A and B are shown apart, each in its own frame.
Chain A
Amino acid sequence: MYKPIEIADGIYSVGCRDWDIRDFHGYSTYEGTTYNAFLITGEKNILIDTVKEKFGDELLANISRIIDPKEIDIVISNHTEMDHSGAIPKLMRKIGKDKPIYCSKMGAKNLKLHFNREFNFKVVGTGDELKIGKRTFSFLETRMLHWPDSMFTYLVEDGILFSSDAFGQHYAGDIFFDDEIGEEIIPHARKYYANILLHFSPRVQALLKDVAEMNLTINMICPDHGILWRDNPSRIIEAYDKWSRQEPERKVVVIFDSMWESTTKMARSITSGIESEDVNVRLMNTRKWHRSDIMTEIIDAGAIAVGSPTLNNSVFPVIADVMTYIKGLRPQNKIAAAFGSYGWSGEAVKILNKEFAEMKLDIIDDGVKVQYVPDEKDLDRCFDLGVKIAKALKEKLPKI
């Protein structure tokens, strides 16, 4: 537990830090994460979001350092996922189970489906306002960013946007604000975007446009994970604009797995070929790199090359894992090529090409297949594939 921080007059960050978590629903979190919750005190006391169930007591203890939790009058639930709703049952038992919970229509539905009980839901939608004393709480539904129930709560007079998971980062440190950490936080935010929001990029674009048209004064953005954007909230809005446009860069990610290192040798030759054309490249072995880290490298890459040996007439299972994951996050505007070593039937490259086609990637080559161990000539073919990928990328993205 840490001392709640007063982030604005009478507004406190009362959430918890999960220092130890390293796997957040299949997303690698090397620096843990935080579950941010916010207490707005005044004529009435309002809590925005809670924390994971096992941090429920810690949340209550944090709140107790400001007010008696029983004095909370209203709960706002911006998102049903259990990292933010898990402590709701415990909280409601403590503060009174009939106290109102403001949430979206889907929030009410989904909270019921999670906790199998009724609460005193007050359903709100975009444009609805709640006026309390000198403050106005304005709600903005952000459906499917990233769950059906997701919404933002905007504090009009203070210009504070409570943005739920959007603009968040899995990062638990001794630092709470953007100005205290600087650009170091951006890779964490990028990883969050790549793994949680990338497939909703067209929706993110639409949302950013809507928000721009609303002409809101945004002094601070408070996401439910990681640091708060108080110094320069436009930094993260601009980053989201860039990431959601999915503009490719002159960068290739070579992703592979291997049983007897033949596909490894091929991957290295392809990488050399790419480098010979002065295009940036990153070689990622799927058994050394977590899928969520591979995804983070993919978002700004202009091309991917994927290599797999053939195992039991199929691709190597770890490659299937990574490909399923990449496909679900729907990266756009990318060149793709496949490669792999095989022994007799050699299905892997064909299967990868089929996946690329379904993902609507631009397949620029049939792919390179090598029977068993690659010889010099085979490695030259791989090098040439690397050159071909790099040249196609340069042609697509001419330097201005």
Chain B
Amino acid sequence: MDKYECVCGYVYDPAIGDADTGVDAGVDAGTAFADLPEDWVCPLCGASKDNFEKVD
């Protein structure tokens, strides 16, 4: 599954979810970026999903 990078540098890795950030946003490992809720925000900087870009 694709990884996505936020403007702040945080990389969302579906294999991990967002549990490794110290911020418990409750996203389980295995959740694709596209399946994250629309109101999900970057666990580090709070930016919304549209601030992320796919990592090649």
User: Are A148 and B22 in contact, CB atoms less than 8 angstroms apart?
Assistant: no
CA of A202 to CA of B45, assembled, Å: 12
Can you list 24 A-B contacts with CB-CB less than 8 angstroms, sorted by A residue number?
A: A104-B9, A105-B9, A106-B8, A109-B9, A143-B8, A143-B9, A143-B10, A143-B44, A144-B8, A144-B44, A148-B7, A148-B8, A148-B9, A148-B44, A148-B45, A202-B21, A202-B22, A202-B23, A202-B24, A203-B22, A203-B23, A203-B44, A206-B21, A206-B22
Quick check: is A205 within 8 A (CB to CB) of the other chain? Answer: yes
Chain B stretch 16-39: residues in CB contact (< 8 A) with chain A: 21-24
Residues of A within 8 A of B9 (CB): 104-106, 109, 143, 148
Residues of A within 8 A of B45 (CB): 144, 148
Residues of B within 8 A of A144 (CB): 8, 10, 44-45
Residues of A within 8 A of B7 (CB): 148
Shortest C-beta distance, A150 to chain B (Å), equals 10
Q: Interface size on B (CB < 8 Å)?
A: 10
Which chain B residue has the least Cβ–Cβ distance from A149?
B9
Which chain A residue has the least Cβ–Cβ distance from B7?
A148
Shortest C-beta distance, B31 to chain A (Å), equals 20
Most chain B CB inside 10 Å of its own CB: which residue of A106, A144, A205, A209: A144
Which chain B residue has the least Cβ–Cβ distance from A206?
B22
Residues of A within 8 A of B24 (CB): 202
Residues of A within 8 A of B10 (CB): 143-144
CA of A105 to CA of B21, assembled, Å: 18
Residues of B within 8 A of A143 (CB): 8-10, 44
Instruction: Identify the B interface with A (CB < 8 A).
Output: 7-10, 21-24, 44-45
Shortest C-beta distance, B34 to chain A (Å), equals 24
Tell me whether chain A's interface is mostly helix, strand or loop, or mixed: helix
Which chain A residue has the least Cβ–Cβ distance from B24?
A202
Q: Interface size on A (CB < 8 Å)?
A: 13
User: Are B8 and A203 in contact, CB atoms less than 8 angstroms apart?
Assistant: no
CA of A207 to CA of B45, assembled, Å: 15
Chain A stretch 97-130: residues in CB contact (< 8 A) with chain B: 104-106, 109
Shortest C-beta distance, A335 to chain B (Å), equals 22
CA of A297 to CA of B53, assembled, Å: 39
CA of A144 to CA of B10, assembled, Å: 9
Shortest C-beta distance, B27 to chain A (Å), equals 14
Shortest C-beta distance, B20 to chain A (Å), equals 9
Most chain B CB inside 10 Å of its own CB: which residue of A104, A106, A148: A148
> A144-B44, A202-B23, A207-B22 given. 14 additional CB < 8 A pairs?
A104-B9, A106-B8, A109-B9, A143-B8, A143-B10, A143-B44, A148-B7, A148-B9, A148-B45, A202-B22, A202-B24, A203-B21, A206-B21, A209-B22
Shortest C-beta distance, B12 to chain A (Å), equals 14
Most chain A CB inside 10 Å of its own CB: which residue of B7, B8, B22, B23: B22
CA of A203 to CA of B8, assembled, Å: 14
Shortest C-beta distance, A66 to chain B (Å), equals 34
CA of A202 to CA of B24, assembled, Å: 8
Residues of A within 8 A of B21 (CB): 202-203, 206
Residues of B within 8 A of A203 (CB): 21-23, 44
